[in-house]
Amino acid sequence: MLIDFLFELRKRKIPVSTHEWMALMEAMALGLHDSSLDGFYRLCRTLTVKDIALYDAYDEAFLSYFKDIQVDSIKLTEELRAWLADPRNLETLTPEQQAAMKELDFEKLREMFEQRMKEQKERHDGGNRWIGTGGTSPFGTGGKHPTGLRVGGGGARSAMGVADERRFRDYRRDIVLDVRQIDMALRGLRRLGREGAVEELDLDETVERTGKNAGDLDIVFRPPRRNRVKVVLLMDVGGSMDPHAELVSRLFTAASRSGRFAKFRSYYFHNCVYNQLYDDASLRTGIPTADLISGSDRDEKLVIVGDALMHPAELLDPGGSMYLASTARASGIEWLRRLSAHFRSAAWLNPEPDRFWSGTTIEVIASVFGMWALTLDGLAAGVRYLVRGGERPRVGDPSRWVKAAGG
């Protein structure tokens, strides 16, 4: 039952297990979906979607699978009306049912409603004539009249309307939202350890020693747990990075928060890292890249943010960029290789959508650094790589650039 909808969910990368799907079938058998599409929409989402970030993908799958359901419902309604209009079909109805059918004259109800609206001057509840609530009048909300017009009330929206609105698209994990979410992703870099002054109460050890001391209190202190990770952040600015400026600013804000890392340094560059890195986005003052390398521990985490897009000469040719001093004959790709060789853990975060990476200078840089898209999923994957290592994602075919790069 609805097996194609299951595959539609999985196609949208919603991890629905067989156990969860069978639970949905059991819930439907118990009538928990209220025998309605709205009820099924809510029930299915509750049982099969475990992360709010997947709600938008669920809405997409729901729209794709049930897109013609409203057309089918209208067609069914028209068939029912045609059936009711055929006098031969009324022969099987009881006298009471036929009498009720006669009360379903919509035009008459509409005329009565308009007349009551003209006459009514105040609110009415529980009556049998005026437009109100809870009564037996053929007009109103929440009443007991077998036929009539409902006015207001309900407030329910169709499942198709809710899904089509896609209120949860901002929760998706393939986009970066705000500083808080980036901050949460960066917490994966933490490596806690105890060092410094003995100033924190060790409750477990205090209880243990007090017990061994026959109840005489023996208070034990210990150094607090602090994050020992040191991070160097290099950020591309200007030119093709201008559309991504706010996104990079959010990343910088989250990374530079006080206490996030044991040591945090940030520098700027334009297009590619050359022999100089800069302290500010105006690229006026800074330090030689060689000094950064020699003054950094190999265990520091190197994070580079940039779109990696430039003219090939700026990346591959010595002297190919105005930002490369004439006395330094190393190319941009050579400086990147030196950084990669020094830092044991390095990752490149690219704000450019990965569907545009192939066939560009991004391929060359991705052969030197592990590269991930600057989305929540990409950021999380890059953080895992910095902490645990593993295989770097492959981008395009960098072999086409090997000869030009001198590799």
pLDDT in tens, 281-324: 888 888 999 999 999 999 899 999 999 998 888 888 876 666 55
| DSSP β-ladder status, 276-278 and 286-288 | antiparallel
The pLDDT assigned to 131 comes to 58
Each residue's pLDDT tens digit, 215-253: 888 777 666 656 678 889 999 998 888 888 888 888 888
H helix or E strand, kind and range, residue 387: helix 376-388
The string of pLDDT tens digits covering residues 7-26 is 989 888 888 998 999 999 99
Query: Half-sphere exposure of 232 toward its Cβ, with a 13 Å CA cutoff?
Result: 23
User: For position 13, what pLDDT does the model report?
Assistant: 85
Question: What does the pLDDT read at residue 142?
Answer: 54
Over residues 114-135, the mean pLDDT reads 59
Q: Which residue has the higher pLDDT, 247 or 337?
A: 337
What is the model's pLDDT at position 247? 83
Residues 6 or more apart whose Cβ sits within 8 Å of residue 147:
100, 103, 104, 109, 138
Q: Does residue 5 sit in helix, strand or coil?
A: helix
| pLDDT > 90 fraction of the chain, expressed in percent and rounded | 17
What pLDDT, on the 0 to 100 scale, is given for residue 117?
Answer: 62
pLDDT band, residue 174 (cuts 50/70/90): low
Whether domain 228-405 has CATH 3.40.50: yes
More confident residue, 73 or 63: 63
Q: What is the pLDDT of residue 290?
A: 93
Q: Is 123 buried (19+), middle (13-18) or exposed (0-12) by CB count in 10 A?
A: exposed
The span from the CA of 322 to the CA of 299, in Å, is: 32
Q: Which of 71-85, 149-163, 286-300 shows the highest mean pLDDT?
A: 286-300
Cβ atoms of 206 and 220 closer than 8 Å? yes
Out of 47-51, 70-74, 219-223, pick the least confident: 70-74
Q: How confident is the model at residue 345, as a pLDDT?
A: 92
Per-residue pLDDT at 65 exceeds 70:
yes
Helices 3-11 and 55-65: crossing angle in degrees, nearest 10, is 140
Lowest mean pLDDT among 149-163, 173-187, 234-248, 293-307: 149-163
Rounded to whole angstroms, the Cα distance separating 407 from 399 reads: 9
β pairing state of 139-141 and 132-133: parallel
Dihedral angle of Cα 290, 295, 297, 300, to the nearest 10 degrees: -70
Question: What band does 192 get if pLDDT is binned at 50, 70 and 90?
Answer: very low
What is the C-alpha end-to-end distance of the chain, expressed in Å? 57
> pLDDT over 70 for what percent of the chain?
61
Residue 186 backbone dihedrals phi, psi, to 5 degrees: -70, -15
C-alpha–C-alpha distance, residues 365 and 323, integer Å = 18
CA distance 346 to 338: 12
Q: What are the domain boundaries of the chain?
A: 1-104+160-168, 194-227, 228-405
Among 89-93, 150-154, 230-234, name the one with the lowest average pLDDT.
150-154
At residue 285, the pLDDT reads 86
Higher pLDDT, 293 or 389: 293
Query: Which residues make Cβ contacts (< 8 Å) with residue 406, sequence separation at least 6?
Result: 316, 331
| 287 touches 277 (CB < 8 A) | yes
Using N-to-C axis directions, what is the helix angle for 245-255 and 179-186, rounded to 10°?
50
pTM score of the predicted model: 0.56
Residue 51 vs residue 403, higher pLDDT: 51
Q: Are strands 221-222 and 200-201 parallel, antiparallel or unpaired?
A: antiparallel
Predicted pLDDT of residue 156: 45
**pLDDT higher than 60, residue 268:** yes
Select, from the ranges 110-119, 125-134, 173-182, 386-395, the one with the highest average predicted confidence (pLDDT): 386-395
Q: How far is CA 264 from CA 158, 228, 231, in A?
A: 51, 11, 5
Q: Which residue has the higher pLDDT, 163 or 348?
A: 348
